[in-house]
Structure 1
Amino acid sequence: MDIPLLSPELTWMLIGERMSEGHYLYVDIIDDIGPLSAYIYWLIDMAIGRSWWTYKILASLVILFQITYINRLFIAYRAFEDNTYIPALVLIILFHLSFDFLTLSPALMGTTFIILALGQLFSLTLLKQESTESVLMVGIFGGIATCFHFPLAIFLPFLIFTGIMVSGFSFNQLVLSLVGYFQPLVFCGIYFFWIDAFPQFISEFILATRITQIYPHVGYLDLVILLLIPMAFTFGGYFIGTLLKSITVNQQKQKQLMVLFLIFALLSVLLANHRTPYQMVVILPGMTYFIAQIYIYLEKRRLINLFFYLFLILVPSVGYFWSLQKIQSGKIYNYAVNEVPPSSQKEKILVLGDDISLYQNATLATPYLNFRLSKRILTNYDDFDKMSQVYLNFKNEKPAKIFDREGVFQKLLQHLLPLQEMYQEEENGIYSLKTNTSY
């Protein structure tokens, strides 16, 4: 399919690269990425450097773990009467709904810990005695997931509601779970306080979804097209499981748990400020639970075969043809990066705009990676402290070229006159560092 490098993937590589150079997240790198995700990309860059294939291979290992864990979870807690590997097969097929499901995204890594929290909630539907460890781990796993990908914070009310209504949390258990949930966030906050970046941690990570506009990499119609067939099978599985099978009390609790999981997973997609298909990976475990019931509870073999081959063919086909149409028509121009001619030497540059394709053969200079967040700083002309810091960032790092897509740097030159001594405009919107500058 000749799948291109995606804009978010290049952003993650730039974050890892800049952190491996000794720069601090949220201070020297302005972006809304989760801190734990950023440090995973830092480790990858430290070990290998920029590597598209590494992201794919590591994502495959994470996906394999999720598939194995979900299937074992359903077997261990008797979600269905028979021990079966049908949920694993269903989840494998669902992961091929979109090509960007198969990359190491913050959503994929965070979903892994949401699944682990779900496993602890499943255990609480069976145990007759109180399990302090499971209650605590529900919260800890939920908090870690949020530190990977902030839109997963929507699962906090899910954990509270299901803990009380489905698992029967007492007040002490609820408090214990909340303490566990906020522990990872508190530890992250302490670390960024230690490096004098706590305000940036709050504004760029916690509040970023509220202070920036959504990045519309794809339209809502695209998400609906991708979800239409899997959700039809999901509703079909729900009604088949409801009408054709009587279930135990524990299975009833598990069913309620998965219905709520699916609802909150959909809400997390809407909360994300990057509208992309990979945000939907968190929905897959919920859909798997219900779709598997079609093949487990139906008794007529012909119907089972019909639904199986329809699912096996339709789900990957929709994802394939959607991706093919988008790639060949160029309609993911703001999602995939444009190919640029290879360069023998990587220059330090700054791109002020949403299209970051030029970073493929260059490195980021200055902290201003995320344009939506950076624009608030670069245009805050009345704040003397921030303008001083902006000037120092340009003076210290001296990007060789600045590609001013939105006219932000042009206006900045009018307020920071010393920058006019450092840069000259080569052509419309492109500024280069003067070779004879004394700065």
Structure 2
Amino acid sequence: MLHYFRINDPYRLFGLLALFLLIHLPMLIDSPDITYPELKSFVVGEKVHEGKVLYLELVDSTAPLAGWFDGLMDILFGRSVLGRRLLAFVIVFLQASYVGTVFVNKKVFAETTYVPSLIFIILGSYSFDMLSLTPELIGSGFLLPALNNLFKEIEFREQRNESIFNLGLYISLASLFAFSFTVFLFGTLITLIIFTRSSPRKYLLLVFGFLLPHILLMSCYYLMDGIASLWQYFYLPNFSIRSDQYISNSSLLVLCALPLFFLVMSFVMMTREARFSKYQTQLVQAMFFWMIFSFLQVLYAKDLRPQNLITIIPSLSFFITHFLLLIRRKRFAEMYIWLLLVGTISIGYASRYNLLESIDYQRLLVPNPASANDKKRILVLDDDWSIYRQHRLASPFLNWDLSAEIFSHPEYYENILRVYEGLEADPPDVIRDKHDLMKPFLDRMPELKKKYYREGIYYNKRSVSN
């Protein structure tokens, strides 16, 4: 198999597509349960599709491009999990193909080969949620042309302002899908300082390329008188290091054990056997820095789950390809690639069907609804929003960490006004309120209080006849 992809022939990518489809076809037929990030994409997409403005009419920290993309996906697919995962399948394949093409064009290796694309596909199959259509998956696609422009700067053959500006621009677009990708701006600056002779003007151009989309975003919200909401609900929450952990560290370590083993072997082999040109040595060092900042981005991300490691895959593909190409006996190289393929896929499928006790996806998967009640418009005043799998969100209050600041302080007139306007514009049929946070608000809003009655932990909307 390795021999097939070592040949510099773009048509080998069709073979790669067939292999990728063969790996994931059982997973697409017997589709895993919906994950929490996917459910959130559904809910945000539905609200954007309804015409709600992020941060002004939806209290959530989802990045703006991610929210608008979710709205587009709601138009195209609704809540179809299969449709979204098929699109994610195509996106991962395109990313793998792009990585291989960039490495070929930049002459990263001693031979021109599409082995990095093969490694990308294998590593991109280590967990079933790699085919979840999430902001991290889309945003990581913008990091790849950023990496390409970084190579252009290191190469010294193309010293143009466009490449350094585009480098900052692509990272910025990625950060508007997932703000944690901002980490790569600092990684890029450090890499350029170490490996290039760029002038201070170029560093400023890089920063300007990054800031431009954010300035345009702020300008749009300024015109809507929403700059305060943009800061409060997007930038400020994303500056924090608090995150949701959907999988344990031990489970993630087991999933990554085989790729990490190959990474260590790659470093050992490259230290002992590699004979690089100065340019290739700089690329190796630059990719090492890119990998380090990829790990930092995972730590800074707003949640921890297997798919978040997709930003590390280009670096792993780079180093593992070097390892395989440096093996002198091709028979052993073939043996290693089969070990990586079979081992990664086996662990991925075994964990998906709960055959490995050391890997637990329980916190990542949304539980099935306990009852089959009619779909209603719901407002949940706690951090368990799995109920939105069966019902739709009503009112602007999605993110409980942000909404709790409003519902915990009924003494402020601004909060009362925000709740009143939200419930009047988008009234829920049911409000789940375990701690009766609505009572002081309803006491101050007699017209709204007449519309609801409390039953257990729920406020139910009165029928018109009542």
- Using the size of structure 1 for normalisation, the TM-score is 0.93
- Residue matched to 1:27: 56
Q: Post-superposition shift, 1:134? A: 0.7
Residue 352 of structure 1: which of 374, 378, 381 is its match? 381
- Residue matched to 1:435: 463
- Residue matched to 1:191: 220
Residues 75 and 210 from structure 1, CA distance in 2 versus in 1: closer, same or farther, beyond 3 angstroms? closer
Query: Which amino acid counterpart does residue 195 of structure 1 have in structure 2?
Result: M
Does the 8 A contact of 1:135 with 1:176 survive in 2?
Answer: yes
Q: Deviations over 1:112-153 (max 9, x none)?
A: 111110000111222335211111111111111111110111
Secondary structure of 1:23's aligned partner: coil
Residues 329 and 369 from structure 1, CA distance in 2 versus in 1: closer, same or farther, beyond 3 angstroms? farther
Query: Which amino acid counterpart does residue 174 of structure 1 have in structure 2?
Result: Y
Q: Post-superposition shift, 1:26? A: 1.1
Query: Which amino acid counterpart does residue 461 of structure 2 have in structure 1?
Result: L
* Inter-partner Cα distance in structure 2 for 1:405 and 1:151: 33
* Inter-partner Cα distance in structure 1 for 2:75 and 2:222: 24
Query: Which amino acid counterpart does residue 92 of structure 1 have in structure 2?
Result: I
* Inter-partner Cα distance in structure 1 for 2:194 and 2:343: 37
Q: Deviations over 1:246-295 (max 9, x none)?
A: 10111111111110111000111111121222111111111110111121
Residues 326 and 301 from structure 1, CA distance in 2 versus in 1: closer, same or farther, beyond 3 angstroms? closer
- Residue matched to 1:295: 324
Counterpart check, 1:71 vs 2:100? yes
Residue 268 of structure 1: which of 291, 297, 321 is its match? 297
- Residue matched to 1:172: 201
* Inter-partner Cα distance in structure 2 for 1:433 and 1:328: 44
Query: Which amino acid counterpart does residue 78 of structure 2 have in structure 1?
Result: G
- Residue matched to 1:18: 47
Residue 322 of structure 1: which of 351, 371, 376 is its match? 351
Does the 8 A contact of 2:251 with 2:359 survive in 1?
Answer: no
* Inter-partner Cα distance in structure 2 for 1:122 and 1:136: 14
Aligned residue runs from structure 1 range 64-103, under 5 A: 64-103=93-132
Does the 8 A contact of 2:161 with 2:202 survive in 1?
Answer: yes
**More deviation in 218-227 or 86-95?**
218-227
Does the 8 A contact of 2:255 with 2:359 survive in 1?
Answer: no
- Residue matched to 2:394: 365
- Residue matched to 1:135: 164
Secondary structure of 2:354's aligned partner: helix
**More deviation in 418-427 or 241-250?**
418-427
Residue 403 of structure 1: which of 432, 437, 452 is its match? 432
**More deviation in 243-252 or 203-212?**
203-212
- Residue matched to 1:222: 251
Secondary structure of 1:115's aligned partner: helix
Q: Post-superposition shift, 1:327? A: 10
Q: Post-superposition shift, 1:182? A: 0.7
Structure 1 gaps of 5+ residues are none
Residue 258 of structure 1: which of 262, 287, 298 is its match? 287
* Inter-partner Cα distance in structure 2 for 1:74 and 1:296: 14
Residues 52 and 245 from structure 1, CA distance in 2 versus in 1: closer, same or farther, beyond 3 angstroms? same
Does the 8 A contact of 1:20 with 1:46 survive in 2?
Answer: yes
Q: Post-superposition shift, 1:419? A: 4.8
Residues 170 and 394 from structure 1, CA distance in 2 versus in 1: closer, same or farther, beyond 3 angstroms? same
Query: Alpha carbon RMSD of aligned pairs, Å?
Result: 2.4
Q: Deviations over 1:330-373 (max 9, x none)?
A: 95444222222786853211122333232233221101111122
Q: Post-superposition shift, 1:12? A: 0.7
Does the 8 A contact of 1:158 with 1:260 survive in 2?
Answer: yes
Residues 241 and 274 from structure 1, CA distance in 2 versus in 1: closer, same or farther, beyond 3 angstroms? same
- Residue matched to 1:309: 338
**More deviation in 90-99 or 397-406?**
397-406
- Residue matched to 2:35: 6
Query: Which amino acid counterpart does residue 234 of structure 1 have in structure 2?
Result: L
Q: Post-superposition shift, 1:317? A: 2.0
Residues matched between the structures, number: 437
Counterpart check, 1:110 vs 2:173? no
Does the 8 A contact of 2:64 with 2:176 survive in 1?
Answer: yes
Residues 361 and 207 from structure 1, CA distance in 2 versus in 1: closer, same or farther, beyond 3 angstroms? same
- Residue matched to 1:36: 65
Counterpart check, 1:286 vs 2:315? yes
Secondary structure of 2:159's aligned partner: coil
Residues 411 and 6 from structure 1, CA distance in 2 versus in 1: closer, same or farther, beyond 3 angstroms? farther
**More deviation in 99-108 or 397-406?**
397-406
Q: Percent of pairs identical after alignment?
A: 26
Q: Post-superposition shift, 1:34? A: 1.2
Secondary structure of 1:175's aligned partner: helix
Residues 207 and 256 from structure 1, CA distance in 2 versus in 1: closer, same or farther, beyond 3 angstroms? same
Secondary structure of 2:304's aligned partner: coil
Does the 8 A contact of 1:120 with 1:134 survive in 2?
Answer: yes
* Inter-partner Cα distance in structure 1 for 2:118 and 2:166: 28
Counterpart check, 1:385 vs 2:403? no
